[in-house]
Structures are given as structure tokens and as C-alpha cells.
Amino acid sequence: MLKVQDLIAKVANRHLDGLSFKVEPGEVLAILGSSDSGKHELGQVLAGIHKTLSGEISINRYHLNTGSDKARIQLGYLPNPAPIEEFLTGYELLDLIGSIYHLAPNTRKERIQFLIDLLEIGPSVYSILETASPDVCQKVALASSVIHSPKLVILDEPTQMLDFNGPRLVGDIVKNMTNSSSSVVLITDNLELAQDLADNFLVLANGQKLIEGTMAQLLNQTHPHLRSLRGVMEKIDY
């Protein structure tokens, strides 16, 4: 579904250097690392916001650089921080983004209602986002990233601004996506969430791949007696 080959990019002052990885259909990849590891920048490059210097990114067989629109329409992206249009209601924003993704009106309406229920947004979706709580804004942004049932969704810190229910709601969204064979790239500092949801892990440091694999492979590469992802991350030599 997502294939990244020898990716080199420069975003602001951060370099991404020679990254290669794959995410298969229905798979969840967690990208981890410290705040200056370049994981957020990698998300932006994968979403097509910044161009690559060299290398190749293909989403569902479409190359991001050459067939940008075709690739972008396969993609859902939740940036960090989540963007909103403060003069619109949550419903209007979802409707707008759904229409940009070519969703037919009926499909759009059904999909919005489904996401409102799934994310437990409630009547707040009809209030202007300027006055809505950060929790509602984040949920609306999260819903907008998956409104078109993309083949690949990149979630950058999805639990940010959410309350204690956040990890559960994000988990529901991720499971919903993977059940329909969509792939998920989860960029997060929430290691418990990553451990619960991800099939594979990619740990970055200074824009380079440090370690990659399943949970079992990560444990083998660090310390076989460790049980948790947090333990692995603490053992890694940055």
C-alpha cells in the first residue's frame, strides 16, 4: 500500500536520510522517536506537503511526486497540530473535505454521521469550531482525515487534545480502517497506544532509520527480557 524507497528530503532544518520501508494493506506502522527525530517531518513528506530531494514514495501504486493528485486522493492525513477552519461548524468542514475528495452527497452524509457516532462527537459538531473545545476540534480533524475511507491514513499524534477516551476512540478508528484493508501510519509519542495498535514499528533518530520490525523483532534486537515498547525505547542507544 505504501512503499518508500531511499527517501531523502529536507524539511525546514531537518534532513530525512535514505529511508526505506513498506506498509502492507491492513497493516499499522508506528513511527517512533524523540521530538527531533524527524518523524513529524516524515509524515508531512508522506502526505505530499513537502517534496522529496530523491527517492520514491508510492501510495497504492501511484507515485506521490509524478501522479500527485491520484496519490493524494488515496491518502488521509491528520497533521499535528490539526488544522481547522474556525468560521465553519464541524459538520460543514467535514462536508467540505468530503466534497473535495469527490464523495457523493449521500455517501458523504452517511459517512459523516458514521464518524460522528464512532468518535462520539455529538451535537458539538454543529457548533462553530472557533468556539468548540479542543477535544471537538481534534475529533473533527480526525474524522476529516478518514472521511473518504482512504487506502492509507497517516495520523500524526492523533490522541493530542483528546481526553482519557482518546486512545480508545483512535483505536476504534484504526481498527475500522484496517478491517477494510486500509493501511495506517501512526506517528506518536504515546508508546502504549502504539504497542496496542501497531503491527510494525519504525524508530527514527536524526532523520535516519534506527531500528525496524515487529514487536518481537524489536525485543530481540534490544533486550529479549523486555516486555513493553517503553522498555525497548529506553534501551535504544540514540
Partner 1 sequence: MGTSSLNWTTRIKLVFVQLSLIDWLTVLVVLSFGWLATQIIGVVEPESSSLMNLIPLFLSGAIVIGYCYRPSINKVHYSFIIPSSVRQSTTWITGITWLVIGLPLIVFLSVQQISSEGVLLSVISTLLLVLSATIVGSLCNHLPKQWGIPLLLLTLYWLLIINNLFVNNLTQAMLSNDLETQAIVLMIAVGLLGVIASIAEFTKPWQRQLETSRYVSISRFDSPMPSFTGMGSLLIVSSLRILRDKVFIIYFGSFIILLLSRILVNNWQINWLTIVGLTLAGLSALIITRLVKFSFSFLDKFSYLPIQPGQIEFVGYFAGLIIIAAISWIIIWGLFGVTGENMARLLAASLSGYGAGFLVGLSYRKINHLGVFDSFWRFMVQLLVFILVFIYSLQLPLSGATTSLLILMLLAMSTTCYQVSQSSATIKSNG
Which residues make up the interface to partner 1 (CB under 8 A)?
Answer: 47-51, 69-70, 72-75, 77, 79, 83-85, 87-89, 91-93, 95-97, 99-107, 113, 123, 126, 128, 148-149
Residue with smaller CB distance to partner 1, 108 or 191? 108
Instruction: Kindly list the distances between the CA atom of residue 171 and the CA atoms of 21, 47, 64, 106, 178, in Å, as whole numbers in the listed order.
Output: 23, 21, 27, 26, 10
Cell of 156: 500524526
Residue owning grid cell 497540530: 81
Residue with smaller CB distance to partner 1, 186 or 218? 186
Minimum distance between the CB of residue 137 and partner 1, rounded to whole angstroms?
12
Residue with smaller CB distance to partner 1, 91 or 201? 91
Minimum distance between the CB of residue 75 and partner 1, rounded to whole angstroms?
7
Contact predicate 161/184, CB 8 Å: no
Minimum distance between the CB of residue 219 and partner 1, rounded to whole angstroms?
35
Minimum distance between the CB of residue 95 and partner 1, rounded to whole angstroms?
7
Cell of 97: 473535505
Minimum distance between the CB of residue 121 and partner 1, rounded to whole angstroms?
11
Q: Which of 34, 39, 41 is nearest to 237 (CA)?
A: 34
Dmax of the chain from CA atoms?
53
Residue with smaller CB distance to partner 1, 83 or 165? 83
Helix 105-118 vs helix 166-179: angle between axes, to the nearest 10 degrees? Answer: 140
Q: Which of 214, 79, 100 is nearest to 154 (CA)?
A: 79
Residue with smaller CB distance to partner 1, 63 or 70? 70
Q: Which of 35, 62, 49, 233 is nearest to 151 (CA)?
A: 62
